Amino acid sequence: MSGPIVGKRRLRAELRRLRRERELTQDLVAAEMEWSLSKLIRIENGTVAISVSDLRSLLAYYRVHDSKMVDDLLELARAAKRRMWWDEYRASLPMQLLTYVGFEAEAVAVGEFAPVMFPALMQTRRYAAATSTVDDEVESPVVERRVEFRMRRQEELLGREQPPSILTVLDESVLRRQPVPHDEALLVDQIEHAIEFAQRPYADVRIMPLNAGYHSGWDGDFTLLEFGADDAILYRQGLLVEEPEVVSSHREILRRISERALAHDASIDFMRQVAGELKRG
């Protein structure tokens, strides 16, 4: 069963396909359905959810008679209205982030390159707080809400029966960058947590050492969410990208980066080495 975010995406893609297969323009469909053009555009763009009654009427207009297909599309419309755990954070967190988490919740695989900090799914509570500060007010309600959200996100995604497979490539600088000046203990705790994380059955953590030279991922962090059947979404610079060419190019970048990075076991040993150095001061 699809969740609301993925359900809406699949539904809008299917509705666009049905219209284009029939060689109908948006203007014509809107006029025939007695809708405003903006309503149809928003439905096809996923800006708004379509009601079950409107969907029935639209499928009838498109002459979709396959009962299973109709039932599947109606279920997607119902799923798009389903409330999920992240909805309670709508007032305090960016909608783009919540949309991303909705996609993440249904991904079968996550691939990410992190050149600046440990990614959210791998963070300890203290590290999350230190990297979520607002004007250095670590205990502010805004920061606490962000930290609570990250911990809940880990619990919901990684605590399920079958978590997605997760490939994370960390730049070595991430292991050495202290989010709080002169607080080596915080960073050591985070690295040790990353070591434990890397040994989970669904995780593959690799370190890109500083002496590996320049690589194509240096232009920023990114995450690829894979849904199977060559269907994926890219999350980069706070934006969700669905263009197949862009997604495909970043999939190739991640492949190259992961091949240049240390292997899984060597990466765990490297993290232990860095943690030991920090402990010794």
Find out whether 51 and 81 touch, Cβ atoms under 8 Å.
no
138 and 20 in one domain? no
158 and 75 in one domain? no
Task: Give how far the C-alpha of residue 127 lies from the chain's centroid of Cα atoms, to the nearest Å.
Answer: 20
Task: Give tens-digit pLDDT for 19-55.
Answer: 999 999 999 999 999 999 999 999 998 888 899 999 9
Strands 165-171 and 109-114: parallel
70 and 139 in one domain? no
- pLDDT confidence band for 182 (50 / 70 / 90): confident
Find out whether 51 and 11 touch, Cβ atoms under 8 Å.
no
pLDDT at residue number 1: 56
Q: How far apart are CA 190 and CA 47, in angstroms?
A: 38
Average of per-residue pLDDT across 239-263:
94
262 and 143 in one domain? yes
pLDDT at residue number 162: 94
214 and 103 in one domain? yes
Domain boundary among the residues 79, 112, 128 is at: 79
Domain boundary among the residues 79, 96, 129 is at: 79
178 lies in which domain range?
A: 85-280
pLDDT at residue number 212: 86
73 and 119 in one domain? no
138 and 70 in one domain? no
Cβ contacts of 124 within 8 Å, gap of 6 or more: 189, 190, 193
Above 60 in pLDDT, residue 231?
yes
Average of per-residue pLDDT across 206-210:
96
Residue 14 DSSP SS3: helix
Residue 216 is classified by DSSP as G
221 and 101 in one domain? yes
95 and 52 in one domain? no
Q: Sheet holding 203-208: strands in order across?
A: 203-208, 165-171, 109-114, 222-228, 231-236, 239-241
91 and 66 in one domain? no
pLDDT at residue number 105: 94
147 and 37 in one domain? no
Counting the structural domains of the chain, the total is: 2
Domain at 235, CATH number: 3.30.870
Domain boundary among the residues 31, 46, 79 is at: 79
pLDDT at residue number 235: 96
What is the average pLDDT score of the chain?
92
- pLDDT confidence band for 134 (50 / 70 / 90): low
Which CA distances in Å does 278 have to 142, 178, 190, 265, 266?
Answer: 31, 10, 12, 20, 19
- pLDDT confidence band for 139 (50 / 70 / 90): low
Above 70 in pLDDT, residue 137?
no
pLDDT at residue number 32: 96
Handedness of CA 16, 22, 28, 33 (dihedral sign): negative
Residue 227 is classified by DSSP as E
256 and 219 in one domain? yes
Domain at 12, CATH number: 1.10.260.40
